[in-house]
C-alpha cells in the first residue's frame, strides 16, 4: 500500500486537486494531511517527517497540495513498478540528470512537459512536487530538518541517497502540477545549504530551480562567458549547415505557442505509446490565451483528429522518412502541418529533408523543449517546418 503525505495551507486547493483525484484511485491507499494553515511547522522537512511518522504503507508518497493524478489506476501502477524494481533511493515524476537534462512526463500548469518512456529513468535530483520512498523509521528518516524553509528538501534527500550508494528515478506516470504561483523565497539559502553539505562530494548538483554552484557563488567569471561563446558558435554553424530560413530563435514551446495562438484546437502527434491522450491549454506554462492542445500518443492515427492544425513531434517525425505515404495522407486531411525534427535525424533522411525544405512555408531552428545542458548546437536544437497542405 502507498501512503500519501501532504502539507497544506489552502484547504480549497487540497480538496479540488489532490483529494479529488485520490477519490478516483482504484488501489487501496492511505492519506495523511498535515495542516499548516496557522504555520505550525517552520519548514517542510519537519512537517513531512511528522506526517510520514503517522503512515502505515510500504511506500510513502509526498505530494504537493496542487497535484492531481491523471489516471484512476495511477497509485496501482506506481505500486507495481516500485514492487518490481525496488528502488532504494527516491522516485518522482520530474527530475534532472547528472548532465543537467530534464527527465519526466507531467502537466505543469497549462502545458505538457516531457514524453512517456519505458521503465524507470535515472536522475540526480527530483522535483519536490511528488516524491516516493520506501517506508523508513526514525525521526529524520526522510528529510533533514536542519534545512530551513520550503525549498530543496527533496534535492538534499536525493543527494544524500546518492552519497549512500543509492539511485534516484523518475517514472512515466503523468500528474498535473497546477501551481498557482512560483514562490522563490529563501530558495538561494536552501541551495546554499545543500551545496555546503554535498557539494564537495558531488561537485555539481542539477535541480529544477537552478544549478549548483554555477547559479550561486560562481568560481570563475570568465568560464560562463567562454562556454556561451562556444555554444553560440556551434549553433551558428548548425544554422548555416542546415540552411534554415530563420535564425536560431525562441525555445520550442514559446515558438509553437506564438505560431498557433489563433487556433482553437491543436493536435500534437507523438510516437505510439500505451498512454491515454492528454489535453492541456497551451504550449507554455502560463499562456495569455488558453485553448485546447491535445497530445496524442497513437502515431499516425488520423481517425481521432479533432483539428486541422497538427504538430508532429520529433520522436514521431523520423517515421515520416520510412512512411512517406502516411505523411502524404496527413497533408490531405489537415490545413496546417508543423513537423519538428532533431537535425541529426534529418541528415539520416536526406530525401525527406529536401522535400520539406522545398514545400515548407517556414523553416526554423529553435531550442529544445527541455533544458539539456551541453554545448552541441545540433543536440540542443529542433528543426521546425510548416508545410503547406496538398
69 and 133 assigned to the same domain: yes
Band (pLDDT 50/70/90 cuts) for residue 11 is very high
257 and 193 assigned to the same domain: no
> Is 39 a member of any domain?
yes
91 and 189 assigned to the same domain: yes
196 and 275 assigned to the same domain: no
With 0-12 / 13-18 / 19 or more C-beta atoms within 10 angstroms meaning exposed / middle / buried, residue 1 is middle
50 and 198 assigned to the same domain: yes
Query: What would the mean pLDDT of 10-17 be, rounded to a whole number?
Result: 96
198 and 53 assigned to the same domain: yes
Cα–Cα distance measured from residue 115 to residue 351, given in angstroms and rounded to the nearest whole number = 27
Cα–Cα distance measured from residue 11 to residue 35, given in angstroms and rounded to the nearest whole number = 9
151 and 284 assigned to the same domain: no
Cα–Cα distance measured from residue 86 to residue 331, given in angstroms and rounded to the nearest whole number = 46
Instruction: Give 340-382 pLDDT, tens digit per residue.
Output: 887 677 777 777 777 777 778 777 767 654 433 332 333 445 7
Cα–Cα distance measured from residue 222 to residue 93, given in angstroms and rounded to the nearest whole number = 35
CATH number of the domain encompassing residue 6: 3.90.550.10
Cα–Cα distance measured from residue 386 to residue 359, given in angstroms and rounded to the nearest whole number = 8
pLDDT at 265 over 90: yes
Please give the tally of structural domains in the chain. Answer: 2
> Is 284 a member of any domain?
yes
- Which of 256, 320, 329 is closest to 293 using CA atoms? 256
pLDDT at 222 over 50: no
Q: How far is CA 25 from CA 29, 70, 71, in A?
A: 8, 10, 8
> What radius of gyration, in Å, describes the C-alpha atoms of the chain?
22
- pLDDT value of position 221: 44
Q: Which of 28-42, 220-234, 362-376 has the lowest mean pLDDT?
A: 362-376
Contact 336, 267 (CB under 8 A): no
Instruction: Give 93-119 pLDDT, tens digit per residue.
Output: 999 999 988 999 999 999 999 989 988
The model's pTM is: 0.87
Structural domain boundaries enclosing 87: 2-212
CATH number of the domain encompassing residue 258: 3.40.50
> Is 21 a member of any domain?
yes
Instruction: Give 44-60 pLDDT, tens digit per residue.
Output: 999 999 999 999 999 99
- 140: number of Cβ within 10 Å: 12
- pLDDT value of position 374: 32
Cα–Cα distance measured from residue 320 to residue 316, given in angstroms and rounded to the nearest whole number = 8
Higher confidence at residue 199 or residue 233?
199
> Is 287 a member of any domain?
yes
Q: Write down the mean pLDDT value for the chain.
A: 86
102 and 244 assigned to the same domain: no
103 and 229 assigned to the same domain: no
Alpha carbon 293 to its chain centroid, in Å, reads 17
258 Cβ contact partners less than 8 Å away, ≥ 6 residues apart: 250
Band (pLDDT 50/70/90 cuts) for residue 243 is low
- pLDDT value of position 233: 67
Instruction: Give 302-355 pLDDT, tens digit per residue.
Output: 778 899 999 998 888 878 777 777 777 888 888 898 888 876 777 777 777 777
Instruction: Give 134-187 pLDDT, tens digit per residue.
Output: 998 765 689 999 999 999 999 999 999 999 999 999 999 999 999 877 777 889
Query: What would the mean pLDDT of 269-290 be, rounded to a whole number?
Result: 93
92 and 8 assigned to the same domain: yes
261 and 313 assigned to the same domain: yes
pLDDT at 223 over 60: no
- Phi and psi at residue 8, to the nearest 5°: -140, 150
- pLDDT value of position 323: 75
Band (pLDDT 50/70/90 cuts) for residue 386 is confident
Place of cell 525527406: 352
Cα–Cα distance measured from residue 11 to residue 314, given in angstroms and rounded to the nearest whole number = 41
> Is 235 a member of any domain?
yes
Higher confidence at residue 198 or residue 386?
198
Higher confidence at residue 363 or residue 82?
82
Q: Which of 180-184, 256-260, 271-275 has the lowest mean pLDDT?
A: 180-184
- pLDDT value of position 375: 29
> Is 310 a member of any domain?
yes
Which of 159, 194, 212 is the last residue before a domain boundary? 212
Which of 160, 181, 212 is the last residue before a domain boundary? 212
> Is 217 a member of any domain?
no
* Upper half-sphere CA count for residue 194 (Cβ side, 13 Å): 33
> Is 268 a member of any domain?
yes
Which of 212, 241, 274 is the last residue before a domain boundary? 212
Cα–Cα distance measured from residue 334 to residue 336, given in angstroms and rounded to the nearest whole number = 6
pLDDT at 388 over 90: no
206 and 355 assigned to the same domain: no
Amino acid at each position: 500500500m502507498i501512503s500519501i503525505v501532504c502539507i497544506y495551507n489552502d484547504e480549497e486547493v487540497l480538496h479540488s486537486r489532490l483529494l479529488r483525484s485520490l477519490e478516483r484511485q482504484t488501489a487501496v491507499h492511505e492519506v495523511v494531511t498535515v495542516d499548516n494553515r496557522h504555520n505550525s511547522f517552520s519548514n517542510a522537512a519537519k512537517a513531512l517527517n511528522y506526517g510520514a511518522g503517522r503512515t502505515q504503507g510500504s511506500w510513502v508518497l509526498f505530494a504537493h497540495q496542487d497535484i492531481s493524478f491523471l489516471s484512476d489506476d495511477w497509485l496501482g501502477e506506481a505500486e507495481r513498478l516500485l514492487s518490481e524494481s525496488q528502488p532504494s533511493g527516491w522516485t518522482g515524476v520530474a527530475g534532472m540528470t547528472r548532465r543537467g537534462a530534464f527527465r519526466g512526463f507531467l502537466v505543469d500548469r497549462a502545458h505538457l512537459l516531457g514524453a512517456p518512456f519505458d521503465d524507470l529513468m535515472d536522475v540526480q535530483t527530483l522535483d519536490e512536487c511528488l516524491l516516493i520512498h520506501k517506508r523508513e523509521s526514525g525521526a529524520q528518516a526522510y528529510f533533514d530538518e536542519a534545512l530551513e524553509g520550503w525549498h530543496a528538501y527533496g534535492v538534499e534527500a536525493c543527494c544524500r541517497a546518492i552519497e549512500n550508494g543509492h539511485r534516484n528515478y523518475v517514472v512515466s506516470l503523468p500528474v498535473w502540477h497546477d501551481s498557482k504561483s512560483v514562490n522563490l523565497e529563501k530558495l538561494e539559502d536552501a541551495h546554499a545549504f545543500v551545496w555546503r553539505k554535498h557539494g564537495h562530494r558531488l561537485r555539481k548538483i542539477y535541480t529544477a530551480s537552478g544549478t549548483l554552484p554555477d547559479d550561486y557563488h560562481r568560481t570563475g567569471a570568465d568560464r560562463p562567458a567562454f562556454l556561451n561563446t562556444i555554444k553560440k558558435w556551434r549553433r551558428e554553424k548548425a544554422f548555416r549547415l542546415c540552411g534554415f530560413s530563420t535564425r536560431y530563435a525562441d525555445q520550442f514551446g514559446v515558438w509553437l505557442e506564438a505560431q498557433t495562438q489563433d487556433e482553437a484546437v491543436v493536435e500534437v502527434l507523438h510516437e505510439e505509446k500505451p498512454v491515454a491522450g492528454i489535453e492541456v491549454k497551451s504550449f507554455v506554462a502560463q499562456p495569455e490565451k488558453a485553448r485546447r492542445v491535445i497530445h496524442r500518443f497513437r502515431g499516425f492515427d488520423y481517425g481521432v483528429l479533432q483539428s486541422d492544425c497538427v504538430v508532429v513531434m520529433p520522436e514521431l517525425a523520423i517515421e515520416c522518412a520510412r512512411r512517406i505515404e502516411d505523411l502524404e495522407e496527413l497533408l490531405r486531411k489537415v490545413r496546417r502541418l508543423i513537423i519538428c525534427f532533431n537535425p541529426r535525424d534529418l541528415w539520416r533522411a536526406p530525401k525527406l529533408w529536401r522535400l520539406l525544405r522545398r514545400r515548407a512555408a517556414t523553416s526554423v531552428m529553435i531550442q529544445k523543449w527541455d533544458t539539456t545542458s551541453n554545448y552541441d548546437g545540433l543536440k540542443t536544437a529542433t528543426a521546425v517546418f510548416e508545410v503547406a497542405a496538398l
